[in-house]
Amino acid sequence: MFKANSNYASTPELKKKVTVKDIKTVHTSFKKSIKKTKCLCSSCLEIIDGEVFEENGEIWLYKQCGKDGEQRVRHLISNPIVYYALQELHKDRVALNEGLIFKTTYRCNQQCLYCFMSANEHDIPDVDKKKLIGQIKQFKGDVVYLSGGEPTLRDDLCDIIAEIKNLSFRSVLFTNGKKLTDRTYVRKLKKTGLDAVILQFDSLDDEDCLKICGEKLAALKMAVVENLKKEGMCTLLYVNVVGGINDTRVKALFDYAISHDNIRLLFFNPLWPIGRRGESKKLNFSDMLDCVVKKLGIPYDYFIESTRFSTYVFEILRKLRFREGIKEPPCSVSCYLLRDGKKYVSLDSIINLPKVNHCLQSLEAHIDREKNRCVNIGRLLLIKEFYVLLCATLFNVKVFKYACKALVYFLSNPTRFTNLYFMFINVLSVMVGQYPDKHTIEFSLFKTCNMHTESGNGKSLPTCLREIYADAGKL
Ligand SMILES: [Zn+2]
């Protein structure tokens, strides 16, 4: 397993481990049917039957349309190791979407060459505030995502955030950051109750920004991150990875993110071929993950074990709080890196992650949503894994040391990150995921989809499906 305790990206031993785990070398050529599913015909977009299968060390999707004939595409998660791990993790789960995206405007103060919304091309007025709040009230999950176009173009954005807070949802803002160069505005957003900002952050190189967004934006983005840091705003960086342009910037973006403790997520998302889309080299989820694994020296195993850990921990907490939703969707993987002074460490350098995951899995299985919290806690106290887990953490010097550091961090930053889960842990999550397009969309993934988009009259659809329909004018 991955045991980083220093700047591991330059550690030859870890690089070697990545090579050993290269999936292409461990699978031989054979064809194996995995499951029947529903999907979309890539031509007519009708819902049709499909089959997931494995061949030559990759996962594929076979589709058959009565009108347009047979189609065969690489599965969204074509890497078999990751595919089977996520299947196993999600197999008995059905979850309501934890997050819901609301499109507050179709206007934007940027004209990116790549934009799944095709912002500024629609003649659609901004959604009326009252109507928007009415839609939000019907949402059953936890997190409201305010999206656009560019939501900061709305003068009533803070009023909307205040209403969301009154309704006891968390609020997260998608933004290109241009308006956040004004620190007073950032302070106002924070004071109003905004929980986090998802900042589009494609590159630290102006030439890349020019090719992707049509503008030199590197200095602006860095100034925005500084403002967000000064105001203690939880910051998530969303990297729209365009093959042939910024796919070589993975390490530079990581180095930047790890050195800013307000940045809690670095999300590498290969270009979604929807809406306005300039030229690009094709890049899917598995290509992206390969690239991140190689550039950052984080093994596949660590991504998988971290994703399992996160899923179990959040599911246990959610079940005990009788909340619906799911933290980790079936179309992404993420891993945690704990900041420790100038260094960073992986979770499995502190705990035996597979062993801890085994215990957490057992704990989760013993919680019954139908029973009350006391009964559930009683059930947990009766199983062996509870005590194994306790021993693995309580009697672990490394855990104790890190807990002390976390306490110092928390006490020295009492007003910061107050709206976050586990705000005392100084952690960066590196995430790789991709929204399916009309070729790769596969309906079996929807049962644990955590991100929907409002699609009118209080209804919502998985974000990928909604945007595929919208792009084709079929909504
Ligand atoms: Zn068709």
Give how many domains the chain has, as a whole number.
2
Cα-to-centroid distance, 70 and ligand 1 (Å): 9
Of 428, 445, 468, which marks where a domain is finished?
Answer: 428
* pLDDT number for residue 228: 94
Cα-to-centroid distance, 42 and ligand 1 (Å): 7
Q: Is the pLDDT of residue 144 over 70?
A: yes
pTM: 0.90
Tens digits of per-residue pLDDT, 338-362? Answer: 998 888 999 999 999 999 999 999 9
Detail the DSSP E strand segments found in 252-357: 263-270, 332-340, 343-346
* pLDDT number for residue 151: 96
Q: Which of 7-16, 143-152, 243-252 has the lowest mean pLDDT?
A: 7-16
Say if residue 309 is in the same domain as residue 203: yes
Tens digits of per-residue pLDDT, 376-386? Answer: 888 888 899 99
Report yes or no on 144 lying in a domain.
Answer: yes
Cα-to-centroid distance, 38 and ligand 1 (Å): 13
Report yes or no on 327 lying in a domain.
Answer: no
Q: Which of 1-10, 167-176, 224-233, 259-268 has the lowest mean pLDDT?
A: 1-10
For the chain, give the mean pLDDT.
87
Tokens 């993987």 belong to 333
Cα-to-centroid distance, 275 and ligand 1 (Å): 20
Say if residue 206 is in the same domain as residue 310: yes
Q: Is the pLDDT of residue 22 over 80?
A: no
Q: Which of 108-117, 133-142, 284-293, 357-366 has the lowest mean pLDDT?
A: 108-117
Report yes or no on 220 lying in a domain.
Answer: yes
Cα-to-centroid distance, 472 and ligand 1 (Å): 14
Say if residue 392 is in the same domain as residue 262: no
Higher-pLDDT residue of 425 and 421 is 425
Cα-to-centroid distance, 49 and ligand 1 (Å): 11
pLDDT-derived band at 423 (thresholds 50, 70, 90) equals low
Say if residue 250 is in the same domain as residue 362: no
Q: Is the pLDDT of residue 224 over 50?
A: yes
For the domain that residue 182 is a member of, what is the CATH number? 3.20.20.70
* pLDDT number for residue 220: 97
Say if residue 207 is in the same domain as residue 242: yes
Report yes or no on 247 lying in a domain.
Answer: yes
* pLDDT number for residue 235: 94
* pLDDT number for residue 420: 60
Report yes or no on 281 lying in a domain.
Answer: yes
Domain range enclosing 339? 333-428
Cα-to-centroid distance, 465 and ligand 1 (Å): 16
Cα-to-centroid distance, 368 and ligand 1 (Å): 43
C-alpha distances in angstroms, 370 versus 123, 143, 161, 319, 374?
Answer: 48, 24, 33, 10, 12
Q: Is the pLDDT of residue 438 over 90?
A: yes
Say if residue 257 is in the same domain as residue 369: no
* pLDDT number for residue 1: 45
Cα-to-centroid distance, 168 and ligand 1 (Å): 43
Cα-to-centroid distance, 447 and ligand 1 (Å): 24
Say if residue 223 is in the same domain as residue 167: yes
Helix, strand, coil fractions of the chain, as percent rounded to 5 = 40, 20, 40
Cα-to-centroid distance, 66 and ligand 1 (Å): 7
* pLDDT number for residue 199: 97
Taking the alpha carbons at both ends of the chain, their separation in whole angstroms is 46
* pLDDT number for residue 277: 78
Q: Which of 7-11, 55-59, 100-104, 260-264 has the lowest mean pLDDT?
A: 7-11
* pLDDT number for residue 18: 37
Report yes or no on 462 lying in a domain.
Answer: no
Q: What are phi and psi of 145, to 5 degrees?
A: -100, 125
Say if residue 229 is in the same domain as residue 126: yes
Report yes or no on 443 lying in a domain.
Answer: no
Cα-to-centroid distance, 75 and ligand 1 (Å): 18
Is residue 195 within 8 Å of residue 168, measured between CB atoms? no
Of 410, 428, 446, which marks where a domain is finished?
Answer: 428
Is residue 253 within 8 Å of residue 237, measured between CB atoms? yes
Say if residue 136 is in the same domain as residue 213: yes
Cα-to-centroid distance, 69 and ligand 1 (Å): 7
Say if residue 117 is in the same domain as residue 242: yes
Sheet with 69-74, strands from edge to edge, namely 31-40, 47-55, 58-65, 69-74
Report yes or no on 456 lying in a domain.
Answer: no
The secondary structure of residue 421, as a DSSP letter, is T
| Long-range Cβ contacts of 243-248 (<8 Å, 24+ apart) | 243/270, 243/271, 243/280, 243/281, 243/282, 243/283, 243/287, 244/279, 244/280, 244/281, 245/203, 245/208, 245/211, 245/212, 245/280, 246/202, 246/203, 246/205, 246/208, 246/212, 247/281, 247/283, 247/288, 247/291
Of 317, 342, 359, which marks where a domain is finished?
Answer: 317
Cα-to-centroid distance, 74 and ligand 1 (Å): 18
Say if residue 197 is in the same domain as residue 237: yes
Q: How far apart are CA 368 and CA 41, in angstroms?
A: 39
Say if residue 405 is in the same domain as residue 301: no
Per-residue tokens: 15: 């690089």
